[in-house]
Each structure stands twice: as structure tokens, then as C-alpha cells.
A and B are shown apart, each in its own frame.
Chain A
Amino acid sequence: MKKKLLSLTLCVAMAATVFAGCGSEESDTKTDSGNSGSKTESGSKDSGSSSDGSVYFLNFKPEAEEAFNDIAKKFTEEEGIECKVVTAADNQYESKLKAEMSKDDAPTAFIINGPIGYNSWKDYCADLKDTDLYNNLVDKDGVVQTDEGVFGIPLATEMYGLICNKSIFADYFALDGIADTGCSSIEDINNFEKLSAVVKDMDAHKDDLGITGVFSEPALNSENNWRLQTHLANVPVYYEYQKDGVSDKDQIDFSFGDQYKDILDLYLDYSTVSRESASSGSVDDAMAEFALKECAIVQNGTWGWGQISGTDGNEVEESDLYFMPIYIGADGEESQGLCAGTENFLAINSQASEADQEASVKFFNWLYTSETGKKCVKEDLGFVSPFEGADTPENPLAVQGLEDAANADTKTVSWVFPTFPSQAWKDALGEDLLSYAEGTIEWDKVISNAKDMWASEKSAS
């Protein structure tokens, strides 16, 4: 009896796999050539609307889920093209994308985070060089491209830097008996030396200013350390790339490692918490500290305004905000601007049908150029549009960021962290930064670990 059961089970399992095999083969050919067939079929049903193809966008930003669902509806109303938007949960984008891409009904448009993301999805990324989307971009260098074409189009421009509370700085400069730092207002701070001198003296007067620390808490724990292991690390790595005239490296030298240490020390020693508590709290908490005037500076980006203004009892006015570049002590940083870029690149699925690809391009073109679309981008998504003819955003940090980008005297620091080898590398660096903050390992060890792992991760493929 047992044997029979076993053999039956195996037979069924075998048969099932055989069928499954057929099924997937069939679906493979469908994606390659059978698209016209399926298209005409649905076309005859849907009164011609889907002869234009349909859009299936896998959205990267969970906070924009409702906005995108709404946008999809409006697009279908205006253009008569079917449009579906699915949103992946926070931190689940890669796994969701892998699962969705395996289906017959795969996303026609998706997000890659930059060159590293392109590398894993290159079989699925269509060349967008001849599309309207690419032509409408203001900054055509800020795309994901290779010699063969353009594969990722930025959907937003985001900036980050040191968000400062101007009124606290004004209070400080009005105090009696402050040290001679060479600055008399916040605008005078234009390099690391001055920043460091002002921060140190502000910290000495923190009781007069009513703050607990100059910087917000660092929140160096695994869920919140991206500000330091990714965004802050971007600056020294950017200068290293600049110095060597490259845009990516198989081996990192951390030639600006000392500067990375200096700025990190400044964050840690003059923050609202002691070094021992560096890992407590979260980015939300840090933003709340800034909103409640417990600190004067927090490192974050344009997206942080919502968190500041949304804090209960927020005391920071829009006019109090001052967006300062992250100075680390590199040569010529007096003309350095904010860190501007994105890791939100649109890719079009090259394995989708021609019609679907065209519809997807049309969707995003509509979103960023039509009146309805632009209104949605500005009001619902709150993105700073990287395309021509965009409206001015309402977010005060974005406004300052755009001014900074438009300022010919300063040069923005581009986002090079999408070239960081992997999430695992960033996680490990974050852990080492914490160990350094808590004094359990030396800085040299942090740098050598990061170098070694960079090399091994980059050569792993």
C-alpha cells in the first residue's frame, strides 16, 4: 500500500512537472512572438482601446501608491489606454520585481536603482534613446546608459544635504562671546573648516540656544543607517571618482576616507546623543528632533520636508530652512553644491510587446508633460520633475535644491552611490560605522573592511 501511494505520488509529480514544463515553454514563445496574437484577441474585445497596448507599472515608492493609482485612472480616462499600477511594499521591490517578471503578464515598466540595477535587469531593459522621454530630459547625462543605449530615465530629481535651522544659527551669531570662526552668518559657511568651527562653538553655547545638540541623533542602526553608510559615503566616493576621472571603480581606495571620518566625527560628537547611543532612534526621530528645535542640523533630503512639517508641534517654519551642502574638507569645496540625483530610474520591459512598450513610454510622457500629469507630479507625487517645462514644486527644500542646482557658481555632487556594489556592502559598512562610533574598532579597520568587501563584491560576478 505504502509503495503504491509513493509511486502514485511520484507519477503525478512527474506528470505535473512535464505539464508545467510545457506551460512555461508556451509562455516563453508567447512573450517572444505571440504578442500580436494576444493583442488582436483582446483588441477585438475592448473596442480598439488596447490596440495601443497597455501599461503595467511596478511602482517603487510605497508612499506614492495612492497617487499612482489615481494617476493611472486619469491616464486611462484621458488617453483610453489601459493602465495598471502595482506597488511593492517597503524594501520588497527587488523580490516583488523578480516574482512579477517571471509571470506571463509581466510589468511593462519598472524601476532600476542605477547601474547596478541595470546590470541585473539588462535583459529586460529597452533602449530609450529615441523616445520623447529622453528628449524631454533637462539633464541628459543623468541617465543610466551604456555604449549601446539609454536604459534608465530618472523620474525625479532629489537632493540631500545638511538641512539647517536658520533661526537657531541667527540666534547663535547674535550671542555675545562667541568664538571667532570667520563667519557671521550661516551663508558664510562654505567649507568643512568653518562648518566644524561653528558647530563646535555652537555646541559650547547649546544651553543658550536651547538645543540638546547641534546635529540630530545619528540613528546608526540597520534600518536607519542609510543616511550615513549610503548618502554620507556618497560624498567622499564622489570626490574619489572625480579625482580619478571615472564613474565607477572595481576597487575603491577611499582616498577621501579621512575626510569621511572627520565629518562623521562631527556628526557623532556634537549630536543630541552620546556616541554610546549612536544606534538608538530612527530617522523619523531625527527629523522630529529637528522639527522640535532640539537640534540645528539634520542630514536628509528633499523628501524630509513632509516629515518635518508632519511632526506634532513642529516649530520650524518654511523660512527657517537652509539647505547646506555636505562639506567634508575636499579641495575647492567652497563651490560645492548639494547632492543631486536619483535612484529612481524608469526602465521599459524590452520583453513586453512593442505596443505595450510604446504605451508605457506614452504614460510617462503624459505624466510629465500633459497639464493633468504635471499637476499630479507636483501635488500628489511631490517629485521634482527632471523634465522640461515642469512646474515649480511646493516643497521648500525642493525649491532651495532647485535654486542650488541652477546656481552657476556651485557644482552639484552627483549621486554615485548607485554604483556601490550591493546592499550587503552598505549593511556591512553601516555596522562598522556603528562599531567605530562606539569605539570598538579603529577607523582604519572600517576603511580596510569596506575596501576589501567592495573588491570582493564587485568581482563576484
Chain B
Amino acid sequence: MNTKSYKKYFPIFVLPTLLSFSLAFIIPFIMGVYLSFCKFNTVKDAKWVGFTNYIKIFTANDATFVESLLRTTKFTIIGVILINIGAFFLAYFLTKKIPGTNIFRTIFFMPNLIGGIVLGYIWKEIMDTFCQKYLGHVFGYSGANYGFWGLMIVMGWQLMGYMMVIYIAGIQNIPEDVMEAARIDGADSVQILTKITIPLVMPSITICMFLTISNLFKLYDQNYALLGFSTKTNLVAMDIFDTFYNHQSNEFAEGMGQAKAIIFFLLVAVITYVQLSLTRKKEVEN
């Protein structure tokens, strides 16, 4: 078959998807960019105000954006490291020939099947009970900031299993003969791990890094269910929502929320792009 006859039909095949993609994504996105330069209450009554919203984000008295952005960055960095290391070692041990690995794989994967909000509420109960019993006060105790680490536990618990499955697939993909050759050449298990396994699962690492970074950076559901609105614990997605809906006296609130969302989008885009190109470089063919 020559590819030319396919090319002719290219527009027809791509059109339905492109149309729905434009309707559901591109057009709202462009409108969103436009609205970030406007003062509005509903989408219909937007008035152009230039860069006012963007300036107000950083200069208003209650500029919570930078603060929540830093908190989110810290959360993402710690989370990505913990989750990926944890998931990798779970995968590493569950690909050894230990009895019961399938059961453990299933168990570790299960948290993913529960939605974020439900997960948040369940964990809130667990942590409340735990804290009251062992620390003498509730999870939301104002004297300590348990929220950050509590959220970390929930996200670790949820994401680790998913990443584990990806790593398992990667590790199982390593040809047995490479391993065998290494063993015959006298490599010990640490050398096999660092010199053979890790380089060969780089594609999995790329995917897992991408998924964890974007999931943690954009976190909303679990944050909301576990901690509610609080300027002390809002990650950036929550902060955007808070700005948009919870400042009724401020007629710029909606525009500011929208402007934050645009900055947030650019940040996520840049970070994930940089991450993808960095880890891609390290990938090797096996």
C-alpha cells in the first residue's frame, strides 16, 4: 500500500477529532486567555483591562499566589522523589520470584481505583483518629502543620501503585539474556540495578516522572477533601479556585483567578516539557 492514498484522506479522518478538540479545548482556552485580561463576572460581560489582573496577582495585599506556588513546588519535588523511588522499589521486589507477587501488585494498585474526593475524606477520618489517639489533638490542629505531610501520605499511597505498574512493565521488558550476561561477567546485584536495570527502564521513568509531576502540580481533589480552603495549605490549583469564587467584594477576583490559571498553565507546560526532554535524552534502546 502506498502512503499517498492515505494522505489524501487525512483531513477527513482528523476532522471529527479536531472539531471536538477545538470546541472542548482550543476555543475555551483562547477565551480563557482573553478573559485573563478582562474584568468580568460572567463570560458575557467581560471588559478589557489589560495587564491589571496580572499585576494585581503579585501586588494585592493578600498575594497568596507566590506563596501557594512555592508550597506546590516543594510538594511536587518531595512527592516526585518519594513516589518514584517507592514505586520503583516496589516494582523491583515484585518482579523477583517471590510467592504472592500478584496479590501484592493488585493490592498496591487498588488505591487508584478510588476517586480523589472520596480518598481525601476517608483519609481525613483515618488521620483524625490517629492524631487524636497518638498526638493528643486532631489532624487539623493549628499548632502544627500536618496538612502538608498528610496530603503527601495520601498522594504517595494513591500514586505509588500506579507508577509501580508502569515500572513493573519496564522491568519485565528487560531481556533475560542481558541480565544473564551481566551475571556471568560477575556483576553483583547493585551493579545490575544501577548499570543495567535503571538505564533500561528509562522510558518508564520518563512516563512516571511526567505523570507524577503533572498530577502533583495540578492537585485539587485530594487537597480540597482533606484540608478544605486555607491559605496555609492551599496548593496552587486550590488557590486559583479560592481567588475566583471566594472574594466576593473584589470585582477583579474572576480576572485574577483567570490570570493565575494562565500563568499556572504556562508553568506546567514549561516544567513538563523540560522534564520530558531531559529524561528522553537518557533513554537507551534495548
Q: Which residues of A contact B44 (CB under 8 A)?
A: 24, 28, 101-102
Known: A8-B11, A16-B26. A119 touches B232 (CB 8 A): no
A228 CB, nearest partner CB in chain B, Å: 14
Which of A41-49, A207-215, A297-305, A423-431 faces chain B?
A423-431
Chain B residue at minimum C-beta to C-beta distance from A1:
B7
Given the complex, which residues of A lie within 8 Å of B128, measured CB to CB?
280
Please, which residues of chain A bring their CB within 8 A of the CB of B26? Answer: 9, 13, 16
- B contact residues, range: 35 or more
User: Which chain B residues (27-68) contact chain A, with CB distance < 8 Å?
Assistant: 27, 30-31, 41-45, 60-62
Return A413 CB to nearest CB of chain B, in Å.
Answer: 23
Scoring B30, B44, B143 by chain A CB atoms within 10 A of each residue's CB, the highest score goes to B44
A95 contacts partner chain B, Cβ-Cβ < 8 Å: yes
A428 neighbours in B (Cβ, 8 Å): 231
Nearest CB of chain B from residue A454's CB, rounded to whole Å: 9
Main secondary structure of the interface of B (DSSP, over half): loop
Query: Does the CB pair A276–B138 fall under 8 Å?
Result: yes
| Shortest CB distance A59–B (Å) | 18
Determine if B252 is an interface residue (Cβ-Cβ < 8 Å).
yes
A347 within 8 A of B: no
What DSSP secondary structure best describes chain A's contact surface? helix
Cβ contacts under 8 Å, A460 to chain B: 60-61, 247, 249-250, 252-253
- Residue of chain B at shortest CB distance from A423: B246
Contact, CB under 8 Å: A121 / B229: no
- Whether A457 touches B229, Cβ cut-off 8 Å, given contacts A98-B41, A121-B41, is no
Contact flags (1/0) for A425-461 with B, using CB distance below 8 Å?
0011001001100111100000000001100111011
Query: A379 CA to B141 CA in the complex, in Å?
Result: 42
Contact of B140 among A20, A24, A117, A279 (CB under 8 A): A279
A146 within 8 A of B: no
Q: Is the CB of A280 within 8 A of B132?
A: yes
A456-B248 in contact given A13-B22, A13-B30 (Cβ < 8 Å) = no
Question: Which residue of chain B has its CB nearest to the CB of A13?
Answer: B26
Whether the Cβ atoms of A16 and B246 lie closer than 8 Å is no
Checking A98, A277, A453 against B42 with a beta-carbon cut-off of 8 angstroms, the contacting residue is A98
Is B142 an interface residue, CB under 8 A from the partner?
Answer: yes
Pull 8 A–B residue pairs with CB atoms less than 8 Å apart, ordered by A.
A5-B14, A16-B27, A116-B248, A116-B249, A221-B140, A276-B136, A276-B138, A431-B142
5 more A-B contacts (CB under 8 A) besides A5-B14, A438-B142?
A: A17-B27, A276-B138, A422-B247, A438-B143, A440-B142
Which B positions have Cβ atoms within 8 angstroms of A? Answer: 11, 14, 18-19, 22-23, 26-27, 30-31, 41-45, 60-62, 128, 132, 136-138, 140-143, 227-232, 242, 245-254
